Structure 1
Amino acid sequence: MQVQVSVIVAVYNEARWIRRCLTSLRQQTLVGLEVIVVDDGSTDGTAAICDQYAQQWPQTFRVIHQSNRGQGPARNVGIAAAQGRYLGFVDGDDWVEPTMYATLLATAERSHAQIVVCDVRKLYVATNRETSLQSLPAASDHVDIAAYLKYGLNNAYSGNKLYARNCWTNCRYQPMVYEDLDILLDMLSRCERVAYVQQPFYNYYKHAGSTTLDYTNPRLFDIMTAYRDAVAHAAPRYVDAVTYCVAKRILINLATPGFIDYLAPFTELIRGLATAFKASPSVMNDPAIKRILYYATQPTLPPYLICTVQNWLDSWQTYSRGLTVIMPKTGQTPGQIKARPDAVKRDYWQLQGLFDHGGLLVLGPVTLQRPFGQLRAGGDVVVYRGERCVVLGAQPQSPLVFELCQRLLSGPQSLSQLLTSIKTQPQQWALVTNNLRRVAVTHWVH
């Protein structure tokens, strides 16, 4: 029997849900369905459950075991092994309605569409609610692709689609989070025809442990790469629609409280895409979306970190992407501090490095528990634990850093004492701290 549709299920430690997923696929009404389960190094019993299905229904299920490589690479293994004329994807903690693939295949055959889309029912475990919104206003065998890219729901989601095999000839998932977003807008922009079935066939189970709901997870930096790739790789005839979609999505991210910890990277992303946004008629003609260009004008501290204590660095590097650690250069010690302790000389050269490059200077032990994009979003900043400054952030050529250097050279106070006085005696620093942000160590550190 010819395989009509190959469904690829990439799984990792999903023993709690995988039976429901595989059972929903076994119950499909489509004749000629194969299910390729790629066990991506599971350690919780998932592999054994998958093997049971393959042993009991070998005509439907195949299992491939591999060491853990991530969902994107696991899906790629399934794509390479698939025999079907069409491909579909289901996450191991989701499930599908019994007629999903029969309906999508019939639509693809009738419409000659390269991709057929259906709606998604989302089930939110934490809040015990569900949503089922229509992706487009009406079902269609010939969707307006530009409109779907700009306004359609779930357009950058893999599971609610059936793909002609040739969609994947030159496409593969990247080893990243948001691997769907990275590839699907590009793929849709290269289609000649897309069809839409207005039925919520795909059930998306949003449980509390989801990576994309854990905003403290530094893997979420991948969303920046996905947005850049989407705009850079879009087919010319739909680059306006893809750019509009990306701008709209970024604004939604910025309005999501959890993403505040990524504010500086988002600002830098927008600055890098500003030319594309300005070249997009759809962005520029929509006042609500055009306001994204406001962020391109906002300052961020340069992505440099000055820290001379090695064991303080670990969490800063864990919760960043593209941050460069620089060691301050030393030269001839100014005569004013030659006789002072080595710690003062070290502080002077650290301030010189901060003055030259800008960025963040770590002056005390701070163990992060989430990204620190808020700290880098804006101008000069001091972070206090009690009255002690543990982090000093500045723009290059900062008047505050210059003044700190001068006072360190001219007086008996240490850098730590000077920074404490900014908090306790602010009137003495009024000329150089007009726009200074004063931050207490709060939720973003242990």
Structure 2
Amino acid sequence: MFDVSIIMPVYNVKEHLPRAIESALAQKKVIGEIILVNDGSTDGSKDVCEAYAEKEPLLITVINQENQGSGPARNAGLKAASGKFIYFADPDDYFNERLLADNIALAKKRETDLVVFGYTQEKAGNPASREMRLPNLPQMDTQKAFREHFRNMYHFSPYALWNKMYRKAFLTKHNITFGSQKQGQDALFNIEVYKHLDSLTVNRKPYYHYVTHEGSAVNRYRADRFKLELAIAQSFENLMETWEEEDTFSDLIAEEYFNVVYLETANLVHPDCPFTTDEKIDRLTSLWTEIGQTKISPYKKEEKNPFRFALLYELKAGHSRNALFLMKTRNQAAKQYTKPFTKIKTFFNN
């Protein structure tokens, strides 16, 4: 049995894939297997996977399947995994050579089922944009402690997979797997993890490099985006109800539902959205009536981000047309000024 199984879903990432695989192969002082699940790639990613497997047949396994999405791909990896621990890496990122060894050692020492560690976020092709993010959390040895400190956990990429390592026996015991929806499976997976988690180990060092790329899934128009995002908010609310902490974390529940409306607003102003202006206004008005007035307004009292504050104000006032205009203007400005702002930021950081 391997110490750890690295599971990597692969879909049309030929350009970035070698760096991710090399990161996995470069891990120090740990015996791990690498499971590459080619999810119906059409760009040559399959050939990259199989070339690496041919060079490292004892360490790398390739699973080829028709395109089903990253959730089913990770499930295929989980089913094949023999490691005591599971680590989910993305094929367009990379990570430190000590990631597995250091975090496995902590998990074994503290006998916990989940380890959370720091990461660095950066934009593709722009290393100067790197921002280090570390967990502001204590070590938690009981379910009660985890729930008491959950607010801090929530503010540290709670739905990401790549800044966490999971004990496989824990996942198996609670039958925790991924759903088949095309987006948001990572959030639903982690919410299920939190439902059963008794303790948590925290490593306040950065190991992973999360790289954002233009044209990511969150920036594309999706006809089903509202349905997918709503499922996450409802699952989160259910978690709080299961804990009997819905009053304590009412603001976080409201934040989840606000995120649903926020992303759907961005979806509606996307150039690929087929709706007319009036249809967009009616759609947003209906959504706010459906969930904004009941799930958001009564509980979301603060918003530090100026743009989100303005958007929330317009939505509360019933000004859907203004909300759509705000989002469209913001997106256009972001696209136009991202490069100049990045150069200015780099200058002052140096």
State the TM-score bracket (shorter-chain normalisation).
0.7 to 0.9
Q: 1:232 to 1:253 in 2, by over 3 A?
A: closer
Name the amino acid aligned to 1:75: R
Q: CA deviation at 1:145?
A: 1.9
| Partner in structure 1 of residue 112 of structure 2 | 113
| Residues 173 and 294 (structure 1), Cα distance of their counterparts in 2 relative to 1, 3 Å cut | farther
Match of 1:193 in 2: 199
Task: Point out where structure 1 has 5 or more consecutive residues left out of the alignment.
Answer: 301-373, 379-442
Q: Alignment partner for residue 258 of structure 1, among 260, 263, 266?
A: 266
Structure 2 distance, partners of 1:179, 1:30, is: 31
| Alpha-carbon spacing, 1:229–1:197, altered in 2? closer, same or farther (3 Å) | same
Per-residue deviation, residues 403-446 of structure 1 (Å, max 9, x unmatched): xxxxxxxxxxxxxxxxxxxxxxxxxxxxxxxxxxxxxxxx9xxx
5-14 or 141-150, which deviates more: 141-150
TM-score w.r.t. length of structure 2 = 0.73
Residues 142 and 30 of structure 1: is their aligned pair in 2 closer, same or farther, counting only changes over 3 Å?
A: farther
CA 1:228–1:249: 2 relative to 1, 3 Å:
closer
Aligned partners of 2:301, 2:108: CA distance in 1, in Å?
Answer: 40
Residues 130 and 147 of structure 1: is their aligned pair in 2 closer, same or farther, counting only changes over 3 Å? farther
Shift in Å, 1:115: 0.7
Q: Of 181, 184, 187, which aligns to 2:190? A: 184
Name the residue aligned to 1:157.
160
Match of 1:65 in 2: 64
1:205–1:150: structure 2 CA closer, same or farther, 3 Å change rule?
A: same
CA contact (8 A) 1:73 1:175 kept: yes
* Count of aligned pairs between the two proteins: 294
> Residue type matched to 1:146 in 2?
R
Where do 5+ consecutive residues of structure 2 fail to align? Answer: 270-282, 304-308, 325-331, 333-350
1:299 shift after superposition: 6.3
Deviation for aligned residue 1:82: 0.6
* Cα separation, 1, equivalents of 2:258 and 2:46: 40
Structure 2 CA distance for partners of 1:99 and 1:264, relative to 1, 3 Å: farther
Aligned partners of 2:257 and 2:295 also within 8 Å:
no
Deviation above 6 Å: which 4+ runs of structure 1?
291-300, 375-378
Residue in 2 that maps onto 1:130: 130
Q: 1:96 matched to which residue of 2?
A: 95
Number of the residue aligned with 1:145:
146
The residue that corresponds to 1:41 in the other structure is: 40
Taking the aligned partners of 1:242 and 1:63, their CA distance within structure 2 comes to: 42
Closer, same or farther: CA 198–190 of 1 in aligned 2, 3 Å? same
Name 2:229's counterpart in structure 1: 223
Instruction: State the 1:239 CA deviation.
Output: 4.2
> Per-residue deviation at 1:252?
5.7
Q: CA–CA distance in 1 between the matches of 2:249 and 2:196?
A: 11
Matching residue's letter, 1:236: T
Name the residue aligned to 2:209: 203
Instruction: Specify the SS of the correspondent of 2:9.
Output: strand
Deviations 1:49-93 (A, max 9, x none): 111111111121100000000011111111111111111101110
Work out whether residues 113 and 166 of structure 2, in 8 Å CA contact, stay in contact via their aligned partners in 1: yes
* Aligned residue in 1 for 2:85: 86
C-alpha distance 265-133 of structure 1, shift in aligned 2 (>3 A) = farther
The question of whether the paired residues in 2 share the 8 Å contact of 1:135 and 1:154 is answered with: no
Contact map agreement 1:186 1:235 (CA 8 A) in 2: no
Taking structure 1 as the reference length, the TM-score comes to 0.58
Query: Quick check: 1:174 aligned with 2:179?
Result: yes
Do the aligned partners of 1:10 and 1:37 also contact (CA within 8 Å) in 2?
Answer: yes
What's the CA shift for 1:156?
1.2
Mean Cα deviation higher: 234-243 or 125-134: 234-243
SS in 2 for 1:197: strand
- The change in CA–CA distance for 1:287 and 1:245 in structure 2 (over 3 A counts) is closer
* Contact 1:186/1:234, CA 8 A, preserved across alignment: no
Q: Given that residues 231 and 239 in structure 1 are in contact (C-alpha distance below 8 angstroms), is that contact kept between their aligned partners in structure 2?
A: no
